[in-house]
Structure 1
Amino acid sequence: MATIKQLQSTLKLTFGLVPIIAGLDKYTNLLTNWADYLNKSLIPIDAMLFMKIVGVVEIIAGLLVLIRPLIGAYIVMIWLICIALQLILMGHYLDVAVRDLVMAIGAYTLAQLTKMAPAKG
C-alpha cells in the first residue's frame, strides 16, 4: 500500500515536470500548435508571443511544484482552472477543458497530501 509520501512524490513529479515540458514546448510547438487553444480575441498581443510568455509562467509553476510543492500545487491548480475556463468560454476543445479540470483536482490533491506529509528534518 502506498504511503502519503509516495503519493505526494508521484504527484509532485507529475505536476512539476508536465508544466515544465509544456512550457518549453511553447517555444517549439512539437507537441501541438499551442496558439490554436487560445481565444485570440481576448489578448492584445501576437498569439505566439503570448504563448511564449505562457511558457515562462508554466516553467516557473513547474519549478515551484518541485521546490515548494504546497504553493506550486495551488498555482498549478489555479492555472489549469483558468485554462479550462478560457477554453469553455471559447466554446472549443471542451475535452481539453475537462481534462484540465481533472488535472486541477490532481494538483489540489497534491497540495492536500503535502499538508499531511511529515515535514523533512
Structure 2
Amino acid sequence: MATISQLQQTLKFTFGVVPIVAGLDKFTNLLTNWADYLGKNADLIPFDALIFMKIVGVIEIIAGIIVLARPLIGAYIVMIWLICIALQLLIGGNYFDVAVRDLVMAVGAYTLAQLTKLKGEKL
C-alpha cells in the first residue's frame, strides 16, 4: 500500500513537471497551437496572442518550479491557475473537454496540498 509520502511525491512530481513542460511548449507549439485556446477572448488581449502565450508559458514554468521547491504553496498556485484556465475556456465557449480536464487536475493539485499538509509542511 502506498504511503502518504509516496502519494505526495507522485503528485509533487506530476504537478511540478507537467506545468514546466506545458510552459516550455508555449515557445514551440509542438503539443498544440496554444493561441487557439484563447478563442474569441484573443481580441481582448492588447498584443499578439503568441506573445501572450509565451508569457503564460513563463508563468507555468515558474509555477512548476515552485511546486517542486515548495509543494504546499505551489499546489495552491497551480490549482488556482487551472481553475482560471478552465473558466477562460468556458467563457470562450470552446474546449469544454479541456476545461473539465483542468478542473479535475485542479482537484489533484488540491489533493497534493492536503497531502503536503498531512506531512507537516508549512507555507
Q: Which residue of 2 aligns with 1:51?
A: 53
CA distance in 1, matches of 2:43, 2:106: 25
Q: CA offset at residue 42 of structure 1?
A: 2.5
Superposition deviation, residue 44 in structure 1 = 1.3
Q: Which runs of 4+ in 1 moved over 2 A?
A: none
Alignment of 1:1-121 (within 5 A): 1-38=1-38, 39-118=41-120
Render the CA deviation track for 1:15-67: whole Å, top value 9, x for unaligned: 00000000000000000000000120221111000000000000000000000
Find the residue that maps to 2:32 and give its secondary structure: coil
- Structure 2 unmatched ranges of 5 or more: none
Distance in 2 (alpha carbons) for counterparts of 1:112 and 1:26? 30
**Any idea what the Cα deviations from partners look like across 1:78-117, whole Å, max 9, x if unmatched?**
0000000000000100000000000000000000000001
| Shift of residue 118, structure 1, vs aligned partner | 4.3
State the one-letter code of the partner of 2:9.
Answer: S
Give the alignment's TM-score, normalised by structure 2.
0.95
Task: Give the CA deviation at 1:69.
Answer: 0.2
Provide the rounded CA distance (Å) in 2 between the counterparts of 1:75 and 1:27: 22
Provide the aligned C-alpha RMSD in A: 0.8
The count of corresponding residues between Structure 1 and Structure 2 is 119
TM-score between the two structures when normalised by the length of structure 1: 0.96
3-state SS of paired residue (2:29) = coil
